[in-house]
Structure 1
Amino acid sequence: MFYNFAGNVVKIILSIFGRVREYQTENKPESGSYIIACTHTGWVDILWLGVAMLPKQIHYMAKKELFKNAFLKTLMNGLNAFPVDRENPGPSTIKIPRKLLREGKMVGIFPSGTRTDEEVPLKRGAVTIAGYSKAPILPVAYVGPNNFKDLFTRVKPKLIYGEPIYLNEEVKKKEAMEIMMKDLDEALKRLKEEVKSK
């Protein structure tokens, strides 16, 4: 309940600065378990992605440091986020999202693992979780405001959704995961260029 309330409040606030434009929305999942892998350049993309998927809720992987403060921890829990140790990922890094996916929920991951406009190698998290849960990955690219300055200068937010990427079960898992990693990397790069030209 808190998630939807907060999401709608955020939607109203963000819309003051300009409404998000969405492309290839036919690829957005209607239901079922999905791993949403989105490009990450600032804190605003997290908010717009969550708002764009309403009323469906995203369970975000978030760095454990955000859960140290009592207020932030309460907020993160209310927003369905769960902590991960990016420096020393343990079994729970895979265990929690696998459980969520089994329950038919959506897990949000930023594969780059950092906020940047530069090209960085994708972290293996999204593909590893997909490999063990057999849930498809939905690649999403965002361009638009990344901070308060961008919001106030009315940089237009845009999201583009790629076709879901499924694990190839006709080959060995290790090989299938390597293929999936390559497909995800290529999809995110292609989508980012596409949405920039819109």
Structure 2
Amino acid sequence: MRNFWYNVIRSIFNIFTYGLLGMRVYGEENIPKRGPFILASNHASNFDPPLIGTAMKHHLIHFMAKEELFHNPVMRWFLRYIQTFPVHRGHIDRMAIKESFHILQMGGVLGIFPQGTRVRPGNLGRFHEGMAAIALKSRTVVLPTAIIGSWDLPKKTGPLLVVFGKPIIPDTAGTDKQAIQVFNDKVKRAIADLIDQYGGSRYEGN
């Protein structure tokens, strides 16, 4: 029964994203056939998770989402139903970290927005350490992902794209601050290049 209702929800999102918004998806060949892997994306809109979720047709993404979204009981039930889990921002959330490693150990797909909040197109801003630290410690592949055109949604002002880049494999097992910064920058550059390549705002630095 759970699979039935999940498929119903996905079908509704498909109608909205592909039918009404005209979303286009590129780079599907870069998506690993199976998990575990971490999906890391820029973040400009509350619509970003369902856009990515429907763009990735053959995987269920376990998104890490801000804890404030879980205050409403109906929203909390829905988010939990689609396998989204909360993270408390502003400090190290050990429960969220534990959940992240559990998802990866089970062969799942972990979805993270490294910016930590929505950022206006044109500047990717600062990437928090969580994504890189989890990837390095677990030795998990990261799939850089770019969302272009979601800032003004639900008003559509131009092409709406989801682009999956080539997976990035952690090349070190170190988790010191320098290793985290280097890996963060590598993923950030990959996302910026996707945005630039597919017609979005050019990366402008930190």
> TM-score over 0.5 for the alignment?
yes
Q: Secondary structure of 1:159's partner? A: strand
How many angstroms does 1:178 deviate by?
A: 3.1
How many angstroms does 1:14 deviate by?
A: 2.4
**Any idea what the Cα deviations from partners look like across 1:130-169, whole Å, max 9, x if unmatched?**
122211110000102332222xx5x321111111111113
Residue 179 (structure 1) aligns with: 182
Residue 168 (structure 2) aligns with: 165
How many angstroms does 1:61 deviate by?
A: 0.3
Residue 135 (structure 2) aligns with: 130
CA distance in 2, matches of 1:173, 1:62: 23
Give the count of matched residue pairs.
193
Q: Secondary structure of 1:61's partner? A: strand
Question: Pick from 1, 6, 24: which aligns with 1:3?
Answer: 6
Going from structure 1 to structure 2, the CA distance change for 1:148 and 1:178 (only over 3 Å counts) comes to closer
Question: Pick from 106, 125, 131: which aligns with 1:120?
Answer: 125
Residue 203 (structure 2) aligns with: none
Does 2:79 correspond to 1:76?
A: yes
How many angstroms does 1:86 deviate by?
A: 0.7
Instruction: Using structure 2 for the length normalisation, give the TM-score.
Output: 0.86
Within 5 Å, give how 1:28-177 maps onto structure 2. Answer: 28-117=31-120, 118-146=123-151, 147-150=153-156, 155-169=158-172, 172-174=174-176, 175-177=178-180
Instruction: Using structure 1 for the length normalisation, give the TM-score.
Output: 0.89
Q: Which amino acid aligns with 1:123?
A: H
How many angstroms does 1:111 deviate by?
A: 0.8
1:165–1:180 contact (8 Å) kept in structure 2: no
Percent identical residues:
29
Q: Which amino acid aligns with 1:89?
A: I
CA distance in 2, matches of 1:173, 1:15: 39
CA distance in 2, matches of 1:87, 1:185: 21
Q: Which amino acid aligns with 1:189?
A: A
CA distance in 1, matches of 2:96, 2:80: 16
Higher helix share: 1
What residue ranges of structure 1 are gaps of 5+ in the alignment? none
How many angstroms does 1:27 deviate by?
A: 0.7
Question: Pick from 188, 192, 195: which aligns with 2:191?
Answer: 188
Does 2:24 correspond to 1:25?
A: no
CA distance in 2, matches of 1:180, 1:116: 20
* RMSD (CA atoms): 1.7
1:136–1:164 contact (8 Å) kept in structure 2: yes
CA distance in 2, matches of 1:41, 1:10: 18
